[in-house]
């Protein structure tokens, strides 16, 4: 029970006890013939009524509540037969009947109680007039309107409470789903960044150190050169890692354009025994940082795959601005592979590069296509739409 309903219940209890006490007091004060019986019946009725709220079974079983209500009603009828003042008790009985019984049974009990009150009062008065029926009938109508109105409000309140609980649960579930999606997206981003930066850099360092190992002890000068290149690769990757942690622009794009970064990437590829040439076609257009980073990472990953797996001697890197699109193409003369029979990604052997490239392009609304065949080299093309230029206020006016 809420504090409001608990307060209403106590008011109803006090009203019934007060009306029973009033009926007994008037019988004694007026010196009526059956005053002793009136007092006795009022006391017994009060005790039976008081026992109801104290018995847990009355609260748990509608049948037990109905029997208790019947006992109270029977004692009230006896009181009504002994004293006309018992008619006052009919009004709180209406609320009890409507509250404890079903709607149909409660309405029937209220009608029967109102009829008994009218009949008992008329018998005590020795006559009947329509005015005698107004009080009990009006009290019954008011009780029905109040209780049914309260029940309707209570049902609506319960529906709203359940709806709020469902909305709260849905919001919590949505928040958990968004959190999970954010965690997964961040993990995917971290995996792509690590693969395209640190993993490729460590692979380059490993290749350079192996080359230095093979050059020793016959060619110490070449070995020193390879070690120096490995050291520079380590420095570059350390800078990449720091920028990666801070989520900033890659060092390769600092102070230069995307085409300049790609040209520098092709130049450094010569350290690994492959000749990479850069070509720029179309009119360069400004790109968001996310687009430039994605294209640069794809070029890095494609050239790394070419050096590690393709056994290629040359590679052509082309950045093309095609009106409303920008395309990056990496073509090599290596051994090629079957795009339909890619190896399963493995923590030891890798195999995550193409998946990471496709994920990058899809996140920016672009596409990635790979054309290759065993012995015929590989052509990788990444395309994405150019962002629409922001309109000025003059252009936005009709």
Range of the domain at 332: 256-388
What does the alpha-carbon distance between residue 102 and residue 288 come to, in Å, rounded to a whole number?
70
pLDDT of residue 390: 41
In this structure, what CATH number is given to the domain that contains residue 309? 3.30.565.10
Last residue in a domain, options 98, 128, 158: 128
Give the pLDDT score at 326.
93
Domain assignment of residue 118, yes or no: yes
Tell me if 7 is assigned to some domain: yes
- Distance, CA of 310 to CA of 25 (rounded, Å): 111
> Which regions in the chain score pLDDT beneath 70?
1-2, 186, 189, 192-193, 195-196, 243-255, 271-272, 343-352, 388-398
| Nearest to 317, CA basis, from 351, 279, 369 | 279
Domain end residue (candidates: 75, 97, 128): 128
Contact 337, 372 (CB under 8 A): yes
What's the pLDDT score for residue 247?
A: 57
**Are the beta carbons of 92 and 16 closer than 8 angstroms?**
yes
User: Is 86 domain-assigned?
Assistant: yes
For residue 78, tell me if it sits in a domain: yes
Q: From residue 303, how far is each of 227, 234, 244, 384 by CA, in Å? A: 21, 18, 20, 20
Domain membership flag for residue 377: yes
Cα–Cα dist 10/115, whole Å: 27
What is residue 278's predicted lDDT score, i.e. its pLDDT? 92
As a whole number of angstroms, the distance between CA 92 and CA 343 comes to 83
Q: What is the pLDDT of residue 321?
A: 92
185 domain residue, yes or no:
no
Question: Would you state the pLDDT for residue 327?
Answer: 93
């Amino acid at each position: 029970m809420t504090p409001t309903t608990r307060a209403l219940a106590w008011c109803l209890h006090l009203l019934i006890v007060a009306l029973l006490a009033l009926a007994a007091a008037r019988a004694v004060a007026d010196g009526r013939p059956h005053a002793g019986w009136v007092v006795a019946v009022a006391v017994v009725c009060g005790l039976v009524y008081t026992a109801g709220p104290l018995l847990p079974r009355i609260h748990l079983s509608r049948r037990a509540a109905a029997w208790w209500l019947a006992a109270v009603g029977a004692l009230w009828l006896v009181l009504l037969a002994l004293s006309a003042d018992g008619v006052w008790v009919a009004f709180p009985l209406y609320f009890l009947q409507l509250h404890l019984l079903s709607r149909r049974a409660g309405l029937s009990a209220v009608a029967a109680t109102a009829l008994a009150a009218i009949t008992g009062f008329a018998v005590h008065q020795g006559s009947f007039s329509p005015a005698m029926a107004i009080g009990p009938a009006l009290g019954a109508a008011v009780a029905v309107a109040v209780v049914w109105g309260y029940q309707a409000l209570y049902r609506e309140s319960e529906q709203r409470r359940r709806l709020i609980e469902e909305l709260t649960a849905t919001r919590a579930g949505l928040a958990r789903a968004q959190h999970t999606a954010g965690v997964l997206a961040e993990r995917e981003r971290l995996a792509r960044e690590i693969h395209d930066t640190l993993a490729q850099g460590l692979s380059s360092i490993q290749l350079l150190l192996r080359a230095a190992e093979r050059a020793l002890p016959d060619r110490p000068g070449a070995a020193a050169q390879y070690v120096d290149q490995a050291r520079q690769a380590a420095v570059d990757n350390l800078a990449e890692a720091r920028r990666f942690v801070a989520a900033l622009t890659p060092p390769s794009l600092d102070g230069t354009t995307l085409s300049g970064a790609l040209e520098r990437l092709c130049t450094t590829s010569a350290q690994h025994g492959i000749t990479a040439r850069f070509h720029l076609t179309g009119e360069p257009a400004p790109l968001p940082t996310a687009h430039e980073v994605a294209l640069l990472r794809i070029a890095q990953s494609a050239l790394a795959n070419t050096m590690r797996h393709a056994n290629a001697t040359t590679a052509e890197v082309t950045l093309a601005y095609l009106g409303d699109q920008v395309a990056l193409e990496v073509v090599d003369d290596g051994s090629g592979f079957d795009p339909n029979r890619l190896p399963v990604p493995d923590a030891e052997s890798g195999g995550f590069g193409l998946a990471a490239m496709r994920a990058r392009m899809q996140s920016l609304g672009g596409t990635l296509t790979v054309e290759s065949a065993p012995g015929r080299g590989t052509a990788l093309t990444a395309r994405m739409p150019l962002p629409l230029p922001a309109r000025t206020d003059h252009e936005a006016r009709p």
